[in-house]
Structure 1
Amino acid sequence: MANSAGSKKRARQAEKHRQHNASMRSMARTYLKKVTKAIEAGDTEGAKAAYQVAIPVLDRAADKGLFHKNKAARHKSRLNAAIKNLAVAA
């Protein structure tokens, strides 16, 4: 347990940051799931709209260090490819 005033404050800040990061990470995952769900349903327009909303959320999460930038890029690339395949198949 923290003993000095400074270490107590640091412990409070760390907990606050942990909760905020967990919330942002969860939000990013939710937006990814919305795109995936639209792709699985075969809804090209809905998938495109959800993708456009998800991209800035993913980029912001990567900029803040919640995800590695390559992980965000990988998700974006795979989702975009799936949407393109959906459009071609339709």
Structure 2
Amino acid sequence: ILSNTGLDVSIMTDHPVIPVQYLPMCAGIAIKHGMKKEKALESITINPARTLGVEDRVGSIEVGKDADIVIWDNCPLELQSNVLYTIIDGKIVYKK
């Protein structure tokens, strides 16, 4: 509801109670209940970075930012999606 009225929303887990690896699933649940897909992705990337004041370093893919990148075979917010590659500091550390 908040996102659909134009507010920036950040989604978090209560790690370690709800492990952080379930963060995309939490965003997917928000989509299921009416959040737009783009807003759900922003809620686990750039919006939290803005809230923490670190959006100049992380939260989106831009030249000069720190980036760990995961490449999926489908939308990362869908449960059936699989990780194809994980890139950290410019090096592929996982390849399916």
Q: TM-score, normalised by structure 1?
A: 0.32
Identify the structure with the greater helix proportion.
Answer: 1
Q: TM-score, normalised by structure 2?
A: 0.30
Q: Whose Rg is larger? A: 1
Identify the structure with the greater strand proportion.
Answer: 2
